[in-house]
Amino acid sequence: MFNIELSDREAQAVLSIRTRSSMENLPQTIGEAYGKIMQYMTELGIQPADAPFTAYYNMDMEDLDMEIGFPVSRQLQGRGDIEFREIPAGKYASCMYTGPYSQMEQPYNEMFKWMKDNGYEPKGICYEFYYNSPAEVPESELLTMIVMPVK
């Protein structure tokens, strides 16, 4: 059982890269984007305002439409494929998941069921905020906040 919460979130400024990837190439795609954005943020002399994220605009495992980035504390100029965007303000359902990325289907299914049972509809984007990485902790201790806008 997962603890699913509903909250009103303020808009969050981000530096991100919008791209496409297959599930197979996901770790490499995400790693490259984070590296590129972190390098740019280092050049600007700024730190992320929160954990890095990936936003999924679809769930086509062969052609994922996604946005990869870092929350930042203020509006910044983008560069090349790195753009300044905002995660919109609004109502969001969220769930902190602990465990391997390969088993994230379960918390997603629970969240969709919770929304249906409580009269909410997902708006079609799923955000995952990563509070640690496989390079730092065993897979069983990975912390991922799954956040979905609802109506």
* Assigned token pair, 31: 């790693």
Question: Tell me: the pLDDT tens digits for 32-77?
Answer: 999 999 999 999 999 999 999 999 999 888 999 999 999 999 999 9
Residue-level pLDDT at 1: 73
Q: What is the pLDDT of residue 51?
A: 97
Confidence of residue 140 (pLDDT cuts 50, 70, 90): very high
| SS3 label, residue 56 | strand
Owning domain of residue 111:
4-149
For residue 61, the model assigns a pLDDT of 86
With 0-12 CB in 10 A as exposed, 13-18 as middle and 19+ as buried, what is 11?
A: exposed
Reported pTM:
0.94
pLDDT digits (tens, 9 = 90+) for 90-115: 999 999 999 999 999 999 999 999 99
Indicate which CATH number applies to the domain containing 138.
Answer: 3.20.80.10
Q: Say how many domains are in the chain.
A: 1
Predicted confidence at residue 70, as pLDDT, reads: 98
